[in-house]
Amino acid sequence: MFLLIILCSILQIAGAYPGISKEEYDAVSSEPSPDPGQWTYDFTESNGPQVGTIAIEGSSVVHYMGDPVVLIGDHLNLGVPLPDILTDPVDLVMVCDRALNYFSERKYLIMAVDGQEDLEVGAFTTKDEMPSGAVVLGQVVMVQIPWLPCMKPTKSGFMEVDEYF
């Protein structure tokens, strides 16, 4: 007898980038991760903001986040390379940790920039490259990219492994 346990964390979605404000980003709450091997439940608060949720694999990366939240972004705005055949934006899931609200080089940062209503997401090699007046609100810790049919491997030459021979 085999027992397969898949752990996942339920995280709230703050909104979509670009176009999300600091207020929308801060409005969602996060719950502490359950002990490994355990689970927790999330019940929407009727008086709170009505936000979407998403199940994310319960890896140690997600478990040890201090204040996780999810943003939905597209590969074009974020500069994520995908197959050239994709001309329309593809939604990506960005798992962010609001507890990491400090500069880190070459990490995608969520920033509030003076004079702008919407948040910015960007990565920099030095703090001097950040927009003037930017305040770091968190870091993107993990990005999930959907599997799309155009990502199928090309013919390998071996009938046993080719899906279409």
| More confident site: 1 or 164 | 164
In this predicted structure, the answer to whether residue 8 has a pLDDT above a threshold of 70 is: no
Percent of the chain residues past pLDDT 90, beyond the cut: 26
| More confident site: 156 or 39 | 156
Indicate the helix (H) or strand (E) that contains 9.
strand 8-17
Q: How far apart are the first and last CA of the chain?
A: 37
Predicted local confidence at residue 165, as pLDDT: 46
In this predicted structure, the answer to whether residue 4 has a pLDDT above a threshold of 70 is: no
User: What does each C-alpha distance from 145 to 15, 74, 134 come to in angstroms?
Assistant: 17, 10, 28
Average pLDDT over residues 23-43: 67
pTM for this predicted structure:
0.70
Domain boundaries, the chain: 8-100+140-151
Around 145, how many Cα atoms within 13 Å sit in the side-chain half-sphere?
A: 13
Predicted local confidence at residue 33, as pLDDT: 66
pLDDT one-digit tens code per residue, 133-164: 999 999 999 988 887 777 776 666 666 666 65
Nearest 10 degrees: Cα torsion 16, 21, 22, 27: -70
Predicted local confidence at residue 155, as pLDDT: 66
How many CB atoms neighbour CB 121 within 10 A? 21
Distance CA 76, CA 88 (A): 9
Distance CA 95, CA 41 (A): 19
22-26, 40-44, 145-149, 161-165: segment of lowest average pLDDT: 40-44
| More confident site: 95 or 57 | 95
Nearest 10 degrees: Cα torsion 72, 137, 79, 63: -60
Average pLDDT over residues 26-34: 75
